[in-house]
Amino acid sequence: MTKVIFRAALVALGLVAAAPAIAADIPLSVAVNAGVVSDYKFRGISQSNNDPAVQGGVEAALAPNDWLSIYAGLWASSVDFNNGTDAEVDAYGGFRGTFDKLGLDLGFIRYIYTGQGGTSAENYTEFKAAASYDFGFVLPSAGIYYSPDFYNNSGRAVYYTAGVAVPIPVTDLSPVIKANVGKQTIDKPANFGITKDDYIDYNIGLFATYWGFTAGVQFVDTNLSKTECGGLKTCDSAAVFSLNYAYTF
């Protein structure tokens, strides 16, 4: 995991060093982030064996006009699948469009897992389409993620998601309540490690930001029982605490 974070840091430094020269001709922004979570839950299922995880990433975005942004980034997290896999690295990119209060996002994510016990079958790609609308007092969003061959050769998979963010304008901490519900379908659930070909996950949490630091607490759960989750507790409900720092150049 240390090597992964080090490589990501080198990429970030390279992008930041190049930013002044590029920005002279085209609008370029570079955002970096780093943080820790008490449990890395991905679509309701723990990726860190119910233990804390260290995470970080870098993203570069070009804005050729006032409504379009072209972005690419890397994000990494420590993981624990009890098989020697110790890190997840996501390479992603796409297009974001803003039309008044409507936001659109079309892109892809390549999930890469590293470690002495992992295999290349764990790696997979997703394509996504998402939309949001800013009403001011509430920000609803929805998206769909499609993979032609999901984690561990588990076949075609589709994830449907819908969420809402509600800002609370009462303090300088910019508190926001966020809630989300999703449905994951998988052609070969046994390869994924569950017994059902679809499941529901949901979460609700409160987040506050100050000086670039965002602290949050979420309740996360799925409709999978321990038996349906391969006899593991990774699908159990949990309170997830997080602390993240983000900065944009």
Count Cβ atoms below 10 Å from residue 74 Cβ, excluding itself: 21
**Res 245: pLDDT:** 98
**Residue 239 pLDDT greater than 80, yes or no:** yes
CA dihedral 97, 59, 124, 106 (to 10 degrees): 0
Residue range 84-128, pLDDT digits in tens: 999 999 999 999 999 999 999 999 999 999 987 667 899 999 999
Q: What is the mean pLDDT of residues 29-41?
A: 98
**Res 180: pLDDT:** 98
Q: Choose the weakest-confidence range: 129-133, 137-141, 167-171, 212-216.
A: 167-171
H helices of the chain, in order, are: 2-23, 189-192
Name the average pLDDT for the chain: 91
Contacts of 70 (CB under 8 A, 6+ apart): 61, 62, 63, 64, 93, 94, 95
Tokens encoding 94: 């796409």
C-alpha span between 111 and 151 (Å, rounded): 9
CA 87 to chain centre: 14
Q: Residue 4's pLDDT band (boundaries 50, 70, 90)?
A: very low
**Res 7: pLDDT:** 54
DSSP string, 177-236: EEEEEEEEEES-HHHHT-SSSEEEEEEEEEEEEETTEEEEEEEEEES--TTTTTT-STTS
Q: What is the mean pLDDT of residues 200-229?
A: 98
Q: What is the mean pLDDT of residues 187-195?
A: 97
Comparison of pLDDT for 10 and 161, the residue scoring more: 161
Tokens 């890395």 sit on residue: 40
**Res 12: pLDDT:** 44
C-alpha span between 43 and 199 (Å, rounded): 10
Q: Choose the weakest-confidence range: 18-22, 179-183, 231-235.
A: 18-22
